[in-house]
Amino acid sequence: MTENDALLKEVSAKAAKWLTAAYDEETQKDVRRMLDASDKTELIESFYKDLEFGTGGLRGIMGTGSNRMNIYTVGAATQGFANYLNKNFAGRGQISVVIGHDCRNNSRKFAEISAQIFSANGIKVYLFDDLRPTPEVSFAIRHLGCQSGINITASHNPKEYNGYKAYWEDGAQVLAPHDTGIIEEVNKIGSAEEIKFQGNPALIQIIGEDVDKAYLDAVKTVSIDPEVIRRQKDIKIVYTPIHGTGVRIIPRALQMWGFENVSTVEEQMVVSGDFPTVVSPNPEEPAALNLAIEKAKSIDADLVMASDPDADRVGIAVKDDKGQWILVNGNQTALIYLYYIIRNMQAKHKLTGNEFIVKTIVTTEVIREIAQKNHIEMLDCYTGFKWIARDIRLNEGKKKYIGGGEESYGFLAEDFVRDKDAVSACCLIAEIAAWVKDQGKSLYELLQDIYIEYGYSKEKGISVVKKGKSGAEEIKQMMAGFRANPPKELGGSPVVLTKDYQTLVATDDKGQQTPLEMPEPSNVLQYFTADGSKVSVRPSGTEPKIKFYIEVKGRMEDRSQYGEASRKADEKVEAVKKSLGI
């Protein structure tokens, strides 16, 4: 029997188990269609593995099968999670959870089914009445004193996807040891018969405006300089939720902060899981901001901002020195936020000396320069806001968190939420735009001034997509190849330090090794060169791709040198890509 025959036999047997009364007729019909089809590709992709409940929850393509997002995979995840909560909090009395969801197709359905299952297991459920931003779900867990929560969302993934984010009682995404404990319980659910779909209505409470108000009141406290907003309340802002959960909350938050001239992109204020006006609902993709920029041109706006479908990340666009609209990347927005927070907290005498900021290891090193020069402690953590949340939790009561960000457009300015927050981030970038306008400057000039003072850097993220079973194997082999034959130079500059977060060892160019102090191993490699370049390599935890993060350094003495610094950096990035073979 060939390997393909063996795989087909295995997936066919697995699919046949879905032809029982435990599965609804529509599901069984779809399974029969796949089994009867002459081309077995869809059958194999749908059943060759179980959709893995990873450390962040579930994420996958919606459809029928064990490797797809559907009521049975979501149901098994929720049943396993409920079992873990009942074990872990056995002596706590009434266990409670918050459930939120985004705008995607099936999100409400998955949220309601999860509410039924949790309540069937004796767990009280606070279910939002409609779609809400991810950060508000995090806030609600803390605000209502819950032990856990879930959010049905696939963030900025294409429309075919949905997902399931699991949160703990601190409002952060689940970390060790609970992540592996939940995974073990989820993996024990062998079939749909073990899922308690019949809920207890008495344990399900619908929440909405009461939590919105508490959350928005808290977000308002993030403002550092309300006076500057009063002076510049008319700055022209264009905002788009890209069909997602920011639709009501973010315009309302901006209004509460005092911004009186906010325009929205009407076509994208339509809530839709089909994302009809964009190819990808991702504010990292330039095309996602096209309609907002068109609107900004027509009204001569000062600032464009877009939140992704679950409103935890924000992308912005500003005018350059020629009046052309340009996108500001995630590293640059993180720089601008942290520069403003530190600078203005100093000016307002709000710093006491025990503040700290956090960035992820793949985010620009210029943030380190800002922190060091201003005597603010900076912590480096793994990619993903659950790690930033962990640093906030570990320092709670000892040090004050004043901001943290990552290159993928996530920022958190407060500690009453424990995930990235586009609601407060949109309001804060609007305040920064007001602040620079008050000085007769633009956000574009502010960014240049930061580079002049702290050093220029340019970052380039490259994702190599490898889909399906063969793709996952290829990504594994690429990482093994980098470990077996690490690059000696990048872009013509020798590699002077290699960090392997899998082994938690840093090795310099003389072979000297030092341990890396991180909470656990992670499949990430980093290379640092003599000329200050940094390259990070990691497989994505949520998508079928391997990611390369390239950062190169340069110098600027004044604003006129920005274009030349950028051009030289582009050349260096290309040279680094060549060295990496990508």
Mean pLDDT by 10 residues, the chain (582 residues): 80 94 96 95 93 85 96 97 97 95 98 98 98 98 98 94 96 93 93 96 98 98 98 98 98 98 98 96 95 98 98 97 96 97 95 96 97 97 95 97 96 98 98 98 98 97 82 87 93 96 95 95 96 93 83 96 96 95 88
**Catalytic residue numbers?**
155
Q: Report the C-alpha gap between 117 and 114 in whole angstroms.
A: 5
Q: Are 533 and 456 in contact (CB under 8 A)?
A: no
Which pLDDT does position 3 carry in this prediction?
A: 66
Distances (CA, A) of 278 to 95, 100, 242, 307: 41, 24, 8, 13
User: By C-alpha distance, which of 536, 94, 574 is closest to 359?
Assistant: 536
State whether residue 566 is helix, strand or coil: helix
Q: Report the C-alpha gap between 19 and 12 in whole angstroms.
A: 11
Tokens linked to 4:
């393909």
